């Protein structure tokens, strides 16, 4: 019998081991398999018109998100990770680099407004999405999620989870600069 046949299981073993090792390393670097790829990348922003948050300006609609590069951030006063991300958003607002539109998702508007007055309001405009209508149109799976939208109103990137300094420096800021060219 051909000796090489006995090597097949060994080769299969090492191929699988290499595959699993690659996944484990990728997982460590944030490439988590439970993060779903967005279906909306390179698609226009879904049409929507949300009701305004009391005391925080007018309503937010898809028409607002055109003509310049913007961020659309899904948040909620119930969301712990949003509170962690929030100071960073306030910092972006202060720097004036890019306007952020907020969608207060599945939230009590009173609690949402209270939360914003406590943590600061980084949003140019805010809309309320109590029944996930717009969240589902954007394919949102959890909060916070942030979409980068170009001047033509096309979604170019989705950040799942909080924006950290690292995410901002390595991914979002370069992308925003690129989209402005």
Partner 1 sequence: MTRFSPVLALMLLTLAGAPALAVNPNEQLANPAQESRALALSRGLRCVVCQNQSIDESNADLARDMRLVVRQRITAGDSDDQVVKFLVDRYGDFVTLKPPLKVTTYALWFGPALFLLGALGAGRAFYRRRPAKGAAPGPLTAEEQRRLDGLLKDSS
Which position among 10, 29, 37, 95 is part of the footprint of partner 1 (CB under 8 A)? Answer: 37
Q: Is 135 in the site for partner 1 (CB under 8 A)?
A: yes
Which position among 44, 91, 120, 142 is part of the footprint of partner 1 (CB under 8 A)? Answer: 142
Q: Is 47 in the site for partner 1 (CB under 8 A)?
A: no
Measure the CA–CA gap between 33 and 78, rounded to whole angstroms: 25
Interface positions, 51-110, toward partner 1 (CB under 8 A):
106
Q: Is 136 in the site for partner 1 (CB under 8 A)?
A: yes
Measure the CA–CA gap between 112 and 3, rounded to whole angstroms: 70
Query: By C-beta, is 44 or 120 nearer to partner 1?
Result: 44
Query: By C-beta, is 65 or 143 nearer to partner 1?
Result: 143
Query: DSSP per residue over 75-143, as a string?
Result: E-TT-HHHHHHHHHHHHHHHHTSS-EEEEEES--HHHHHHHHHHH----SEEEEETTSHHHHHTT--SS
- Residues in contact with partner 1 by the rule CB under 8 A: 1, 34, 36-37, 39-40, 106, 131-133, 135-142
């Amino acid at each position: 019998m051909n000796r090489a046949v006995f090597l097949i299981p060994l080769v299969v073993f090492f191929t699988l081991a290499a595959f699993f090792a690659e996944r484990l390393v990728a997982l460590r670097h944030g490439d988590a398999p439970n993060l779903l790829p967005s279906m909306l990348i390179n698609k226009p922003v879904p049409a929507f018109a949300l009701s305004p948050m009391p005391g925080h300006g007018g309503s937010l609609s898809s028409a607002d998100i055109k003509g310049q590069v913007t961020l659309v951030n899904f948040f909620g006063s119930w969301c712990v990770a949003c509170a962690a991300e929030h100071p960073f958003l306030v910092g972006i607002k202060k720097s004036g680099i890019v306007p952020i539109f907020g969608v207060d998702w599945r939230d009590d508007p009173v609690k949402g407004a209270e939360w914003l007055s406590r943590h600061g309001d980084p949003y140019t405009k805010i809309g309320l999405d109590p029944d996930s209508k717009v969240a589902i149109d954007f394919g949102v799976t959890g909060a916070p999620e942030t979409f980068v939208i170009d001047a033509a109103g096309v979604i170019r990137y989705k950040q799942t989870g909080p924006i950290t300094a690292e995410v901002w420096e390595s991914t979002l800021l370069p992308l925003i600069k690129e989209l402005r060219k």
